Amino acid sequence: MSIRPSILPSSLWGEPLWDYSVRVYGHKEVENIVLGLQDEYHANVDIILWCCWMDAEDICLSKEALDDVLITIDTVSQATLLKLREVRRYLKEAGSFTQVQAKVISKQLVNAELMVEKVLIHRLQDLTRRFAEVMEDREDPLSLTYYLDFLMIPDARQIAHLIRVASRGAQRTPIT
């Protein structure tokens, strides 16, 4: 993710979700862990980053919010991002284009992926704003561990802890 940070911060949280996602995903350790979960268990990177962001922002939503997120975000992600990635993989393997042509097309596909990611992240933030009013749950909130457990990922609690620690290592730099 290399698109510049959002300009308008929300008064509901200290850091917009997109800015947080770009910063945290840019931390190599986080990137490696979440891409591994994506490849091995079909975990959604945006939802993982969203869960980490909610933890960092002390946003406590009901676990029921995950159902809406899976329908709204994960379904669209599978229909768009996964298809774009498949095309990009095909380009590398097919040999139908020259190396230069394949690189140009691949770069455009990566840009399209980033645009879809950004739209989905903004949708997540909008959903969070809506959910914060009607689905707050401070007793047993939705968490990264819950999402990874939902995906039946072995050692979900331990992996969630590793991601949280790594995401905290991605220090926020003040805008000057």
pTM over cut 0.85? yes
Average pLDDT over residues 17-22: 96
Average pLDDT over residues 35-52: 97
**Domain locations along the chain:** 17-169
Q: Are 74 and 145 in contact (CB under 8 A)?
A: no
Name the phi and psi angles at 3, rounded to 5: -80, 145
Integer Cα distance of 123 and 141 in angstroms: 20
Both ends of the chain: CA-CA distance in Å? 21
Instruction: Please give the mean pLDDT across all residues of the chain.
Output: 89
Which pLDDT score is estimated for 7?
Answer: 36
Average pLDDT over residues 8-19: 76
